[in-house]
Chain A
Amino acid sequence: MMQIPCPFCGPRNESEFSFGGPVKPPRPDPSAVSDEDWTAWLTQVPNPLGPVQEQWWHVRGCGTWLPIWRDTRTHEIVEAPDDGR
C-alpha cells in the first residue's frame, strides 16, 4: 500500500486518502489562446511512463488536499522532475 506524506499528519496509508485527479495547469482564457491549445487544455493530460502530478484528499484524516508526484510504473511517490512538468 502507498504511504502518502501528509504535511500535517506525516506518512499515512493510502486507504485514508481519496484520489483527486491529475494536476492541470491553470485554465487559460479561451479567447486568448489558439483553438488547439484550448482543446488540448480541456482534453489532454500528460500520460508518461514515469512521474505524474496529482491531487490526493486526506478525507479520512485531517481533510487537507495535497499534490504529489507519483511514478505510474511503480506507484512510488517521487521527487518532482527537474523540468517541472
Chain B
Amino acid sequence: MQRYSAFSLLRHGINRHTTWAPAWRSPPLKDRYDVIVIGAGGHGLATAYYLAKEHGITNVAVLERGWLGGGNIARNTITIRSNYMRDASIPFYVKSVALYEAMTRELNFNMMHSKRSMIDVIQNYPMMRDRRRRQHIMDIYGSTYEQISEAEVRRRIPALTGGGPDARLPVVGGYVHTDAAINRHDAVAWGYARAIDAMGGEIHQQTPVTQLLRGADGRIEGVETPRGVIRAPKVAVAVSGHTTTLTETVGLKLPLRTMNLTAFVSEPVKPLVDVIVNCPDAGFYLSQSDKGSLVIGGAPDPGQSFRRDIKQTVFEDTVSAMLSLFPSFKKLKFLRQWGGHLDIAHDASPIQDETDVPGLFVTAGWWGGYKAIPAGGLTLAHLVATGRPHPLMEPFGINRFRHLDYVMETGTTTAR
C-alpha cells in the first residue's frame, strides 16, 4: 500500500500528481470466496477489514449495489458518540468511539476527526431525569456525561437565543458529552477500502445481490447477482434498510421495520456553532461542517418507508422546532437534503447474529449506525470467523426476541 504523508504529497506534487497509484484495485469477480459481505457501506467494509486484520481471512468479496461510499455512509449526520442508556449498549459504543479516534493513524488516512462535544439542550424536567439516569450508567463504563446550567448552555452555544423564560418550553439546563465527535464519512469508506485491498480483500461495486442461495442441507451456499452466481460458505448481510428484503428470499423473517431518517444542510456560513447541538425536547439536532454548512436532522418519517428524500411535513416540523431555539437561523438558505433507509428492531437495539440459515449472518437494526461502524465490524468479523459472538455483542443476538428478553434502547437521538 502506498503510504500517505506530507512527504508523499510533496513528491507526487512535483510530478504534477500523475504518479499516484489507485487506492484500491477492481479485480475480476471470482465465482467462489471464503466469505461474502453484502454491502460496501461502513459496516460491511469494517467487517471485511477486521476479518483480514484480526483473523487473517482475506479471500473475501464485499458486494455493493451502487458505488463505494454512496449508501447510508453518505446519508447520515456523521455523529460519533456513546451517550446511550443501557448497560449492554454503552460499552459497545465506548469501544466504537475509541476505534474512531485511532482510525486516522491505523488506516493512514485523514479522517478529519473533530472531537467537539455534544450538548443536549434540555427543556423539561423528565428529560433532565432521563439524562441523569444515563449519566449514572455511563459513569460505570467510562463514557462522559456532565450536567451544565442554562447559563453555561448559552455561553457555549451563543447562537441559542430562543427558549427563554416566556417560551412554551424554556431551556432548563443541558448535558455535555465530551467524547462526541464528527469526522469525514467518505474518508471512512475510502480508508477501509484501501486497507482491505492492501490485505487482499476485494470490493465489487455495481454488483447488487438479488437472491440468497440455500443448499439442499439448508446451509447458505452463496448469492445470485446480475453478474452471475457467487458461492461462499459464509455470507454476511450488512445492507441496512433492505435486510428483510434479502433475508425473505430464503424465507427468513426478522423483527425489523424499515424507516427513512432524513437530514438537510444550509448554505455555508462563517463558524457559528462549534459543538454538536442536540435538542431532544424540541426534536432536532445540528452541527456545523468544516465547509460551514449547518447539518440538521429531525425525526424520521412516520411509518415504514423506502424513500430516500425528506418529506415536506418532516422538513417543516424540524425547521419550526429549530427556529424556536435558534430564531436567527430563519435567514439561512436551504442547500440540499437526503434520507437513508434504516431498519429498526422491535426493541430499537441492533441485531447481530448467525441466523436460522447456517452460515448466514446479519448485522441490522443500526439506528444511527454511523457511530457503530468500527465496533460493529470488529464484532461481526469475530462472529463470522470464530462462530461465537464477540463479548460486546453478546446481548444483541436474535434469540432475545424468542425469549422476550428485549434490550429496550431509548438512547437513539430521535427516539423521543
Contacts and interface: CB of A to CB of B under 8 A. Distances in A.
B312 A1 contact: yes
B404 A1 contact: no
Nearest to A17: B302
A62 B303 CA distance: 21
Given A39-B401, A72-B258, A22 B313 contact: no
Interface of A: 1, 14-15, 18-19, 22, 35-36, 39-40, 42-45, 47, 49, 52, 54, 70, 72-75
Contacts of B258: 47, 72
Contacts of A43: 255, 346, 401
The 9 closest A-B pairs by CB, nearest first: A19-B302, A43-B255, A43-B346, A47-B244, A43-B401, A72-B306, A73-B306, A72-B304, A44-B255
B402 interface: yes
Given A1-B312, A15-B313, A72 B305 contact: yes
B254 interface: yes
Interface in B223-272: 244-245, 253-258
B402 A70 contact: no
A45 B302 contact: no
Interface of B: 244-245, 253-258, 301-307, 311-313, 316, 343, 346, 401-402, 404
Interface majority SS (helix, strand, loop, mixed), chain A: mixed
Contacts of B301: 75
Contacts, number: 57
B256 A47 contact: yes
B257 A47 contact: yes
Contacts of A52: 303-304
B404 A39 contact: yes
Contacts of B402: 35-36, 39
A64 B253 CA distance: 33
A59 B78 CA distance: 35
A42 B343 CA distance: 17
A34 to B, nearest CB: 12
8 contacts: A19-B303, A22-B303, A39-B404, A42-B346, A44-B346, A45-B257, A47-B343, A54-B304
Nearest to B403: A39
A73 B258 CA distance: 11
B303 A49 contact: no
Given A52-B304, A73-B306, A42 B404 contact: yes
Given A43-B346, A47-B257, A74 B313 contact: no
A40 B253 contact: yes
B353 to A, nearest CB: 14
Given A1-B311, A43-B346, A54 B303 contact: yes
A43 to B, nearest CB: 4
Contacts of A36: 402
Given A35-B402, A39-B402, A40-B253, A74 B307 contact: yes
Contact of B311 (A44, A70, A73, A75): A75
A55 B243 CA distance: 25
Contacts of A19: 302-303
A1 B346 CA distance: 28
